[in-house]
Amino acid sequence: MVRMTVLASGSKGNSTIVSSATTRILVDAGLSCRELMKRMRAAGEQPETLDAILITHEHQDHVQGMAVTARKLGIPVYLTEPTHRAWVRWMTPQKRITYAEWLAQRQSTGHRAPGSEEKQGAGSREQGAEDGVRRSALGVQECDLASVRCSADVGAEPDPEEKAAAEEAIAEAEKEPQKDPAALPAVEYFRAGSGFRIGDIAITPFTIPHDAADPVGFVFEADGVRIAIATDLGYMPSNVSVQLRVCDVLMLESNHDVDMLRDGPYPWSVKQRVMSRVGHLSNDAAAEFLARGYDGGAAYVVLAHLSENNNLPELARISAERALRDRMSLLANHLLLAEQDRPLEAIVL
Ligand SMILES: [Zn+2]
Ligand SMILES: [Zn+2]
């Protein structure tokens, strides 16, 4: 029996469990450890039985609970070497500040309300790294240009899950102040294009176009069942579309409605980034793939990483349904929408 449980999906946190009869993998840990545990239990999964954490890329909404969860459960983290380096760099604080100072700093400099771009400074990642980046006591990266966040759901207030993850790590650091915040129980490197195994699950990582150090998607295979996860990609290149063939479950990004994004409140630099070739897949781009690039074989198509500010579940659903309706062979397909605030019921194959 192979199972996939989406615990959370969206720009505030991403996490999914893929499991076989004997192996359980947490794919991304983008919620606080406490929230991850809570959602696992609510979804009928036991956190203590996880074998590994597997990471797609270093953006906060994919890693903010990673270190605390890995340390708590004593399990290895699998990522690429460039992703690990990028994460370690960000986790190394320039100076220690209190949590209250961190919040104050965010509000005064790091996170501006939508529409305040004129005060925000320049628009390149390089300049963001020079000017816009602030680090918390834990090295949690802050960037007003959102180059460290995924879909740049920019807001004036810190996201509650981000706050919870930071508080957890601060509490841990207070207990053991000597401990390196970037310490992990074990790190295993993989490379895009080179398959590997965790227990009885075979994993093929593939490169995706996204503005992170070395972002990947995954195909999982166990007991003859194939599950593909492809979120956080600016467009659908042929190397990715090839990987998404002959899958039983396809989890695909449907991030934004292009008109909502264009007319929405984001600074232009952020809009450009989301729409770029290394940003996120729009509803239209996902539908285009479902209509033309996809082989129609998946029993479940899960639309994922929907933007809270620039999308509506109904819009994502309608465009995917329209794309799939033209495919006569797809009548047996289930179309699901992954949610930010609650786990989806487990998909069992
Ligand atoms: Zn991302
Ligand atoms: Zn993301």
Residue 13 and residue 161 in contact, taking contact as beta carbons nearer than 8 Å: yes
Least confident of 66-70, 78-82, 167-171, 183-187: 167-171
**What does the alpha-carbon distance between residue 11 and residue 312 come to, in Å, rounded to a whole number?**
14
Q: How far is the CA of 298 from the centre of ligand 1 (A)?
A: 25
Q: How far is the CA of 226 from the centre of ligand 1 (A)?
A: 23
Other beta carbons within 10 Å of 277: 11
DSSP 8-state class, residue 26: E
Q: How far is the CA of 176 from the centre of ligand 2 (A)?
A: 30
Instruction: Annotate 232-267 with DSSP letters as a single string.
Output: S-SS--HHHHHHTSS-SEEEEE--B-HHHHHHSSS-
**What does the alpha-carbon distance between residue 246 and residue 294 come to, in Å, rounded to a whole number?**
9
Q: How far is the CA of 171 from the centre of ligand 1 (A)?
A: 26
How does pLDDT run across 110-156, given as a tens digit for each residue? 444 433 333 333 333 333 332 333 333 343 333 223 345 564 455 54
Q: How far is the CA of 149 from the centre of ligand 1 (A)?
A: 6
Measured in whole angstroms, the distance separating CA 314 from the mean position of its chain's CA atoms is: 21
How does pLDDT run across 237-257, given as a tens digit for each residue? 999 999 999 999 999 999 999
Task: Reduce the DSSP state of residue 324 to 3 states and report it.
Answer: helix
Which residues make Cβ contacts (< 8 Å) with residue 222, sequence separation at least 6? 2, 20, 23, 200, 201, 202
Ligand showing the shortest atom-to-Cα distance for residue 305:
2
Other beta carbons within 10 Å of 119: 8
Ligand showing the shortest atom-to-Cα distance for residue 148:
1
Phi-psi region of 205 (alpha: psi -120 to 50; beta: other; left: phi over 0): beta
Ligand showing the shortest atom-to-Cα distance for residue 255:
2
Q: What is the pTM of this model?
A: 0.84
Q: How far is the CA of 348 from the centre of ligand 2 (A)?
A: 25
